[in-house]
Chains A and B, each alone.
Chain A
Amino acid sequence: MTSICSFEDFYMDWQGQSLAEKLMQIMLLGFAVIAFGTGYLTASFQTMILIYAVGVVLTTLVTVPNWPVFNRHPLKWLDPSEVEKHPKPQPSSNVNSKKKPIKK
């Protein structure tokens, strides 16, 4: 293999982003509840922090990288041939000029 595929080559689509965000919120809240409950019942502050830390790391691994599962409805970009049919609007010449406009 001459080239290495990095995560920047993968994308998330809109549905994927929405899913990732919801998943992140639910996972973090869920782990917080589990951590607090366990810590309170075992009277151990350290247990609570430990469970929550594990939960944060797990959530990061699941929701932050661009996993392919978040790209099931990929965006269909326009063909390059369409670009010529819809040229970019040209900026007006006044914008480029640095001199003050002459009053008429």
Chain B
Amino acid sequence: MHSFGYRANALFTFAVTILGFMCALASFTDSFNSPSPSVQVLKVNWFQKQPNGNDEVSMTLNISADLQSLFTWNTKQVFVFLAAEYVTPKHVLNQISLWDAIIQEKENAKFTITTSNKYRFIDQGSNLRGKEFNLTLHWHVMPKTGKMLADKVVLPGYRLPAEYR
């Protein structure tokens, strides 16, 4: 005979299974979202360059971005970071994260900030004189349930000065 405990257990299991399906469905609706973010790094001012064995650059970044189309009902936060990429004779790809932020509200996803680089831009060696580099803005869209989306936009054509200051 189905006892009280049996029914309670059956209900609980069924309820949680349905909850799992609802969350999977919510995550699936994210695939209908086609984001179209726009990014611009307006000005990079080079401040100083100190050789200490390794090259180091300190710069002021002026970043303007509109990431509002990334947000859906199933988005918890968006993690965005700006990375500098360049080539050296020793390594094909060097990537350094210069700045990052966590955006938790859709309204805050459209922003313009002027800041010096949050993390130090230090090369392993002395390869940065006159170096050409790309600035890439990466973003990770973290959902409330389900699959995380990561994407980026590459902004090429930045060059460091040829001499130390």
Which residues of A approach B to under 8 Å, CB–CB? 7-8, 11-12, 17, 20-21, 24-25, 28-29, 32, 35-36, 39-40, 43-45, 48, 52, 56, 59-60, 63-66
Chain B interface residue count, Cβ-Cβ cutoff 8 angstroms: 20
Q: How far is the CA of A95 from the CA of B4 in the complex (A)?
A: 35
Q: Mark B10-39, 1 if CB is under 8 A from A, else 0.
A: 110011001101100110010000000000
Q: Which one, A28, A39, A60, contacts B73 given CB within 8 A?
A: A39
Q: Chain A's interface: helix, strand, loop or mixed, by majority?
A: helix
Known: A36-B26, A43-B73, A45-B74. A52 touches B4 (CB 8 A): no
Q: Given the complex, which residues of A lie within 8 Å of B18, measured CB to CB?
A: 28-29, 32
Query: Do B7 and A63 touch (CB < 8 A)?
Result: yes
Q: Which residue of chain A has its CB nearest to the CB of B16? A: A56
- Say yes or no: is B1 at the interface (Cβ < 8 Å to chain A): yes
Chain B residues near A7 (CB-CB < 8 A): 4
Residues of chain B with a CB closer than 8 A to A20's CB: 2, 7
**Are B26 and A17 interface neighbours, CB within 8 A?**
no
Residues of B within 8 A of A (CB): 1-2, 4, 7-8, 10-11, 14-15, 18-19, 21-22, 25-26, 29, 72-74, 144
Kindly provide the distance from the CB of B14 to the nearest chain A CB, expressed in whole angstroms.
Answer: 6
Cβ contact of A56, chosen from B10, B15, B21, cutoff 8 A: B15
Provide a sorted-by-A list of 16 A–B residue pairs whose CB atoms are within 8 angstroms: A21-B10, A28-B11, A32-B21, A36-B22, A36-B25, A36-B26, A39-B73, A40-B29, A43-B72, A45-B144, A56-B15, A59-B11, A60-B11, A63-B7, A64-B4, A64-B8
